[in-house]
């Protein structure tokens, strides 16, 4: 379990309460996941916080219900850009950021149509195969930036597949919240020509 300050924990509690309220109207997480919101979604997202330097700018791809981007904004106080194409989810993200006091910019567009300033860190969770994530992330990441992707059991296979199309420096870190999951950390990546 990731240790956070009492104030941060209170902000995350407000987020969890708000998500439970909104989830009855729009599908932010599976209804059966509301009861296990902390271990399954919040803790899973929080494990990235210790990999992110203070003050680093973050862009989260396909933010959905705020995982991991909004959780990281609350936990780190770093500025986070959330890219999400579903307008209803964007309304939730804006309201949750306001209530939780998070430094968030919400871009209500598809990833390939969003052009935020290049970020130090790109994150995503349960969004797409690594190859596609790298394709989306490359134009949004600073040259010396890092990608942190929360992945499932197929992380090694996705990394092998992506290495056919990308030269990169990569590491697979074990997930602390999902026995079969992993964090894929990627930097210095460019397309194979």
42 is in an annotated binding site: no
112 is in an annotated binding site: yes
C-alpha distances (whole Å) from 85 to each of 20, 88, 107 are 21, 9, 8
- Alpha-carbon gap, residue 16 to 117, rounded angstroms: 29
65 is in an annotated binding site: no
Assigned token pair, 61:
């791809």
184 is in an annotated binding site: no
In the β-sheet with 141-151, what is the strand arrangement from edge to edge?
Answer: 104-107, 80-83, 58-61, 119-125, 141-151, 182-191, 166-174
Assigned token pair, 42:
């919040």
Indicate the DSSP class of residue 128.
S
Q: Please say whether the beta carbons of 95 and 144 come within 8 A.
A: no
94 is in an annotated binding site: no
Annotated binding site: 62, 67, 111-112, 125
Annotated binding site for S-adenosyl-L-methionine: 62, 67, 111-112, 125
């Amino acid at each position: 379990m990731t240790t956070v300050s009492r104030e941060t924990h209170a902000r995350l509690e407000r987020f969890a309460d708000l998500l439970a309220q909104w989830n009855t109207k729009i599908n932010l997480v599976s209804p059966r996941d509301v009861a296990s919101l902390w271990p399954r979604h919040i803790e899973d997202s929080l494990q990235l916080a210790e990999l992110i330097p203070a003050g680093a700018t973050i862009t989260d791809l396909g933010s959905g219900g705020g995982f991991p981007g909004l959780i990281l904004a609350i936990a780190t106080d770093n500025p986070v850009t959330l890219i999400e194409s579903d307008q209803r989810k964007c309304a939730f993200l804006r309201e949750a950021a306001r209530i939780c006091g998070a430094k968030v910019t919400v871009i209500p567009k598809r990833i390939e149509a969003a052009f935020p300033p290049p970020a130090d860190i790109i994150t995503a969770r349960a969004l797409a195969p690594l190859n596609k994530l790298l394709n989306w992330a490359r134009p949004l990441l600073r040259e010396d930036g890092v990608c942190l992707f929360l992945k499932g059991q197929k992380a090694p296979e996705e990394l092998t597949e992506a290495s056919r199309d990308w030269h990169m420096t990569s590491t697979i870190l074990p997930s602390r919240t999902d026995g079969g999951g992993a964090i894929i950390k990627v930097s210095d990546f460019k397309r194979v020509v």
